[in-house]
Amino acid sequence: MSESMYSVWVSTMHQCAAGDLALLSLTVLHRTAQEHVDLGFSMASRDCTDMQKLLDWFDGHDPFRMPDDKLYSLSSGLVSSDAVARDTAEELGAVTNERMDSVDFL
């Protein structure tokens, strides 16, 4: 699977769960007592509402929206210099990766 396929899959999981819950309530299927408690209707319903809360929070608190056009590292907080622009970031990353290919880290 490609990275974009993983991204689509993860971003639509809450919608699939909501559809599964709707079908479950429509068909009035009941789970057996032998199944794990996390598979129950109440836990699945809570998961859907929790996922919606996360999505709503990220709508208002986008971690990728920065006050200027510079590139920021989310993990380290480093800010790019003026020589690095969003248009050249992929090229510079490829060059950096090529340089590091020959480095032995062990």
Using the predicted structure, report yes or no on whether residue 98 has a pLDDT greater than 80: yes
Give the predicted TM-score (pTM) of the model: 0.37
Q: What per-residue confidence (pLDDT) applies to 58?
A: 86
If you write DSSP's letter for every residue of 38-96 in order, what string do you get? GGSHHHHHHHHHHHHHHHHHHHHS-TT--SSSS-B-TTT--B--TT--TTTHHHHHHHH
Answer yes or no: is pLDDT of 99 > 80. yes
Q: Which amino acid is at 96?
A: T
Q: Which of 23-27, 42-46, 49-53 has the highest mean pLDDT?
A: 49-53
Each domain of the chain, given as residue ranges in start order, spans 3-60, 66-106
User: Roughly what angle, to the nearest 10 degrees, separates helices 13-27 and 3-11?
Assistant: 40
